[in-house]
Amino acid sequence: MRPSGRNLSDMRPISIETGVMRHAEGSCLIVCGDTRVLCSATIEDKAPPFLKGSGQGWVTAEYGMLPRATNTRNRREAAAGKQSGRTQEIQRLIGRALRAGVDRRALGERQIVVDCDVIQADGGTRCASITGGWVALRLAVNKLLKAGIISTDPIMDHVAAVSCGIYAGQPVLDLDYAEDSEAGTDGNFIMTGAGRLIEVQMSAEGATFSRAEMNQLLDLAEGGIAELVRAQKAATT
């Protein structure tokens, strides 16, 4: 039995509320169980210097966690004077994931920055950031299309992410913190709406896993991604 009482293949309740930030070109609050992430997308009229003259745009991300998003207070990284290695790794992951679903030439020489701020954490914050970040990105691109600034939709497919792991010897979908902290194997799966893999992060956290178990986790992830994509579609159409 999972701590939450969910079945092995059950996701936590998902909701995505859009238009939660007045000034951002695209924004949403994504809620996955008790994990809540505020995502916003900002359009900048020029691409980074390394893309100048290339005709291509860029999508990047920044990630942060409020001090009391967790059980105990975490010191603000700004107060420490630098980002932690974990924060840098997560925001690079979000950026890579979102770029995989974008035709950067159709975007033109501009940059979209997706900010993901965790206001409450209960496991799966990077996955929620990617899933919600895509919604914010979609809404920002819709404004470019509506204004006639670009003529071709640069978003090629949905991008979503979900965690899976081996908990108490069983493969489970969408780990909350209680499961994540005790899982023998932990993985994050990032996929497109068409089911194509973008990135898989898997590691043994005290117990090695078999090829068969990895396949079981991938099967669970596919079902979870399909549910997340349905939520993205409902939020953006």
In a domain, 75, yes or no: yes
Domain that holds residue 61: 14-236
Percentage of the chain with pLDDT > 90? 95
Instruction: Region of 174 please: left (phi>0), alpha (psi -120 to 50) or beta.
Output: left
125 is in an annotated binding site: yes
Task: Give dist(CA 217, CA 152) in Å, integer.
Answer: 36
124 is in an annotated binding site: yes
**In the predicted structure, residue 78 carries a pLDDT above the cut 90:** no
Rounded average pLDDT over 207-226: 95
**In the predicted structure, residue 3 carries a pLDDT above the cut 80:** yes
In a domain, 7, yes or no: no
Q: Check if the beta carbon of residue 135 is closer than 8 Å to that of residue 28.
A: yes
How high is the pLDDT of residue 234?
98
In a domain, 6, yes or no: no
Least-confidence region, from 33-42, 162-171, 198-207: 198-207
How high is the pLDDT of residue 203?
93
Rounded average pLDDT over 98-110: 98
State how many domains the chain has.
1
How high is the pLDDT of residue 1?
79
In a domain, 67, yes or no: yes
Task: Give dist(CA 89, CA 85) in Å, integer.
Answer: 6
pTM of the model: 0.96
**Measured CA distances, 235 to 2, 14, 87, 138, 155 (Å):** 29, 11, 27, 10, 16
In a domain, 65, yes or no: yes
pLDDT tens-place string over residues 108-136: 999 999 999 999 999 999 999 999 999 99
CATH number at residue 213: 3.30.230.70
**Could you tell me which residue, 228 or 81, shows the higher pLDDT?**
228
Rounded average pLDDT over 212-233: 97
How high is the pLDDT of residue 79?
86
Percentage of the chain with pLDDT > 70? 100
